[in-house]
Amino acid sequence: MKGSELLVESLKREGVKNIFGIPGLYNMPMYDSFYEDLANGEMRHILMRHEQAAAHAADGFARATGIPGVCTATSGPGVTNLITGLVTAYQDSSPVVAITGGVNRASMGKLSFQESDTLGVSFPVSKYAVELRDITEIPQWIKNAFYVASTGRPGPVVVDVPRDIQMEDIDNVKYPDSVSVHYKPFRTVIDKDALRKAALNLLNAKKPVILVGTGVMWANATEEIIKLSEFLGCPVVSTLPGKSSMPADYPLYIGPMGYYGRAEASTAALESDVLFAVGARFSDRTFTSYNEMNDTKKIFMSINLDPTDFNKGINPDVAMLGNAKVLLNELLNVLNTLGRKGNVYEWTKRVNELKDYYSQFSHPEDDGHLRPWKILKTIREAVPRDTILTTGVGQHQMWAETQWENLEPRSFFSSTGMGTMGFGLPSAMGAKVGKPDKVVLDYDGDGSFMMTGNNLATAVDEHIPVIAIVNDNRTLGLVRQVQDMFQNKRIVGVDYGNSPNIVKYAESFGADAYDVHDYKDLYEFIRKAIKENVPSVIRVPVNKEELALPTLPPGGKLSEVIVSDPRKGSKGAGKL
């Protein structure tokens, strides 16, 4: 058996069916070894048009399915192209396994053709990276890679296999029964005292808020969050990526808080007397100022898998370490035995008041242009409940943050930690490969879309019928808005000219393309695209002057939120 065959067999033993990638000299032996598997349908290779997109696709696959996505690249430019995708998965804790081909062992370090120091460039962007030394290591390290990627805080793992190892022969193959790596997934600690304290704090709270992060999605704990929230009558806010943990139509869910989050959600979090974070690190995007939060003197509580998150900016008064589902169930048991309910009548009234107050700002009137909130509302009306939506990065992403209503867990994916433009289309393709029965939309910006839009070719060739809805504002809108609002309107280096025509661009790939003029168009084109079931691009013109609101001044506090267009004379401050 050849090393490359052993590699493919080991991947199959991990249940791998889909590989997103691009071949080159150094991973070609592996391609040769899955030739038959592709032919007989046991595996599928999706030939991406750029390795960054291969990593994003694997990431989208992982987020949609909950199991690691796999990508592959050749040494040198293939590996360096992967890097942006890997760091994106790393920041958002998504399990990706990257198999890279390396130069021959004897050539290493000699500036040989396409040598790029795979380990050196991978270490800082991955949870782990390993370069195999010997053919016998293949099965063990493939097993280890999937284990490391998918346990604890999930993340990307790179396995670099030198070409000559793939070409070698081995007779007696031993497949490992268990992992062997110096690594421990984080523990779940059932600390009765902490649980009781948490329960009492929640019951005694006058103004409790639950803050949900992606940890809830990865632990499949949405149901437990809802049980807890219902039991206490407690409002729920989320981080931006934490949107993927909460159905938007759950009545006590206020929405995402943070830098571009909903003002009512951030305000509720600020005003709360007990803030209970579950599966959410207290990131600088969610709590834009730790001083501001600490000054409220509220009780912070946290359930989190990664103990180091208890030491960054906020030190929770009650810290519970472990899996959100397990610990929430324990907490619910304690609450049940305590046998009383919280009293949050006044708080509920206040939260409703906040919601009412801020809703006047979030639905601005018609101004002759298509307005993002209405675009997103129209999309919502046109697609099934379990539709998956991914985004690029920019204003459109922030509009999706505040206005898109994802109605099921694991159905909203965005590059939130890294903010990687170009994530939208390939991650949607990965999600569609993982969940072929769901409608998958990429809600994108023109700038972001153009970064990985060439992968439309893959969507067409491989029949991956995703629908990209591109907000065409002919600008890098989010950067422009910061210049407009906070840099004295010195608009520089952001506006595009007329190139390209996005409809013609999409058509050139063989995708169906639509040009929207009004909301009715948008609705009908989405329905048509779903029915036709082919890759489609829907261009939606958006005014480049439109702002993504709420926002904060750069480096601002949540209480400095700006909710209405200051250029039109601020009506009402951000505060209620």
Ligand X SMILES: Cc1ncc(C[n+]2csc(CCOP(=O)(O)OP(=O)(O)O)c2C)c(N)n1
Q: Structure tokens of 431?
A: 């999600």
Ramachandran area for residue 364 (φ above 0: left; ψ -120 to 50: alpha; else beta): beta
Under the binding rule (CB under 5 A), the answer on residue 392 touching Mg ion is no
312 binds, among Mg ion, ligand X, other proteins, none (CB under 5 to 8 A by kind): other proteins
Cα separation, 117 vs 96, in Å, equals 20
Specify the stretch interacting with ligand X by CB under 6 A; choose among 134-142, 169-177, 352-360, 419-427.
419-427
Nearer to other proteins, 182 or 531 (CB): 182
Nearer to other proteins, 37 or 92 (CB): 92
Beta bridge partners of 514: 538
Tally Cβ neighbours within 10 Å of residue 318: 22
393 binds, among Mg ion, other proteins, ligand X, none (CB under 5 to 8 A by kind): ligand X
Please give the radius of gyration of the chain, using alpha carbons only, rounded to the nearest integer.
24
For the CA atoms of 449, 452, 458, 459, the dihedral, rounded to the nearest 10 degrees, stands at -30
First-to-final CA distance of the chain: 70
123 binds, among Mg ion, ligand X, other proteins, none (CB under 5 to 8 A by kind): other proteins
Among 24, 60, 208, 477, indicate the residue that binds Mg ion (CB under 5 A): 477
468 binds, among other proteins, ligand X, Mg ion, none (CB under 5 to 8 A by kind): none
Q: Structure tokens of 447?
A: 């700038």
Q: How far is CA 396 from CA 424, 444, 553, in A?
A: 11, 7, 19
Among 35, 183, 518, 553, indicate the residue that binds other proteins (CB under 8 A): 183
561 binds, among Mg ion, ligand X, other proteins, none (CB under 5 to 8 A by kind): none
In the shown chain, the binding pattern of residues 426 to 465 toward Mg ion, with x for contact by CB under 5 A and - for none, equals -------------------xxx------------------
Cα-to-chain-centroid distance, residue 153: 14
Among 91, 390, 395, 411, indicate the residue that binds ligand X (CB under 6 A): 395
45 binds, among other proteins, Mg ion, ligand X, none (CB under 5 to 8 A by kind): none
**Pairing state of beta strands 440-445 and 412-413?**
unpaired
Among 189, 223, 307, 341, indicate the residue that binds other proteins (CB under 8 A): 307
Q: Structure tokens of 466?
A: 């995703």
Q: Report the greatest alpha carbon distance in the chain.
A: 77
Beta bridge partners of 410: none
Among 1, 47, 119, 482, indicate the residue that binds other proteins (CB under 8 A): 119
Tally Cβ neighbours within 10 Å of residue 408: 18
Cα separation, 83 vs 51, in Å, equals 8
CB of 462 to ligand X, least distance (A): 24
Among 44, 128, 173, 206, indicate the residue that binds other proteins (CB under 8 A): 128
Cα-to-chain-centroid distance, residue 282: 17
Specify the stretch interacting with Mg ion by CB under 5 A; choose among 100-108, 266-274, 453-461, 472-480.
472-480
Which residues of this chain interact with other proteins, rule CB under 8 A?
119-120, 123-124, 127-131, 133, 148, 181-183, 186, 306-308, 311-312
